[in-house]
Amino acid sequence: MRDVYLIGIGQTPITKNRGVRGRYMAAEAIDKAIAHAGIDRKQIDMLVTGNMTSGILAHQTQMGALIAEYAGLRGIEAMNVEAACGSSAAATRLGVMSVGGGYHDVALVCGIERMTHVPNERLTAALATAADWELDGENTVSFISLNARLMRRYMDTYGVTAKDFGHFAINAHDNGLTNPNAFLRKKLDMETYLNSRMLVDPVKLFDAPPVCDGAAAILLATEEVARTAHRNGLPLIKVAGSAIGTDSPGLDSRRDMLVLDGVALSTRRALEQAGITNEDIDIFEPHDAYTIITALSLEAAGFAKKGMGVHFGKDGEITRTGKLPICTFGGLKSRGHPVGATGAYQLVETYMQLTGTAGENQVPDPEFALVQNIGGTGTTVISHVLKRCS
C-alpha cells in the first residue's frame, strides 16, 4: 500500500430549503476542493460520491456520473457508494484503497444529500431503509424510535437520567456557534435541553439532529502529488488508518444492544493501521446523530468503560481545550446531518484542525484525529485516522 494524503477540501453551508438541486451543491463543493488543493482538474483520476436518499427522494440514481458531468469531469471513472448515513465516509474508504493500492494517483470524494424538499413522512420512510426493512421498516419503525429504544435500555440498565446526556448536545452547540457553515448556530443550556419537545420518549428535540441539505468534498492523493500541490505552507495530512466494521441492521439481532461492535471493530483496525493507541488521539469526531450514540461510541471506541460513556465529558474533557475534544465544529447536532454527506464534512473539518486553519474552533496543536461516520444505528461504521505530518 502507498501512503495516502488528504490534499484539498470544500464544503457548502448546511441549509434547509435552499432550493438548489443536489448536483449543483456537489459541483460547488468540488470546485472549492480543487481550488483549495491547487491542482489541475485533469489530474483527477476518479470520483466517488456518497449519497443515501437520492434514488428515493429525487428519483435519481447514477450519482457518480451525474456529479462528474456537472463538476466538469465527464468521462472520468465515477461511481456512487451507499452506506446510509455513512455513505461519504465509505466513499472515502474506496478512494483511499484506490490511491493506496496504486490504481489512481488522485481520487475525489464528494458527499451530497438533499433532504428538505419532501414531506417529513417521505423522508422518515427513506431514512428507515437503513434499518432491517423486513423486520423493522415495515413495522413503522423510525430512526428516532430505534434510538429511543437504545436510550431507554441504557437509562434502565445503568440508572441514568435524561440530564446525563445533556452535556453532549450543549458542547456540540457551543462549538457550532463559531462554525459559519453550521445549520444550528444556537446556544444551548441544560434547562433548554431538558425542556425541549419530546420526539419519542426518552429522545427529545436536542437529542436528535436537524433535517438539512449539504455537500462536502475532499481530494486524496499520493505523497508525490501532495508534496507538489499548492499547500500554502500547511503541513501534510496523511490518512494513517482507514477501516470499516459492521454489525446487524436489526437491534434485536445484535450480540449486545448496548455495544456498538461495528465501532469497536473499525476503531481497532484503523488504530492498528496507524500504529497508535487511544492515548495518542487528540481529537475524536464521533457520529453524534443522537446523544445515546455519542455515549455508546465513546465506550465502543475505547475512550470510556461500558456504562460510563454517558458521563464522559461532564468535567470538560470533550471541549476544544479538554482531554478529548469531540464535535469541534458542532457535530451532527449543530453543524447538521445531511446523512450521506456527513462523513465528508467530518473529514473537511478535521483537516482544518490538523492544519491549524480552524479559526475560532481550533483545538490546541493536534497531531492525530479519529474520525468516525456511522450508517444506521451502528450497522456500518467507517473510521479514519488522520495524522499531521511535516
The catalytic site residues sit at: 85, 337
Using alpha carbons, list the distances in angstroms from residue 31 to 11, 35, 271: 9, 6, 32
Torsion angle, alpha carbons of 49, 51, 54, 56, to 10: 140
How far does Cα 131 stand from its chain's mean position? 18
Grid coordinates belonging to 316:
470538560
Note the helical H segments in the chain: 22-37, 63-70, 87-100, 120-127, 143-158, 166-176, 190-194, 223-228, 261-274, 291-300, 331-334, 342-354
Peptide bond between residue 209 and the one before it cis (omega within 30 degrees of 0) = no
CB 23 within 8 A of CB 63: no
The C-alpha cell at 218 is: 475532499
Place of cell 488528504: 6
How is residue 35 annotated by DSSP? H
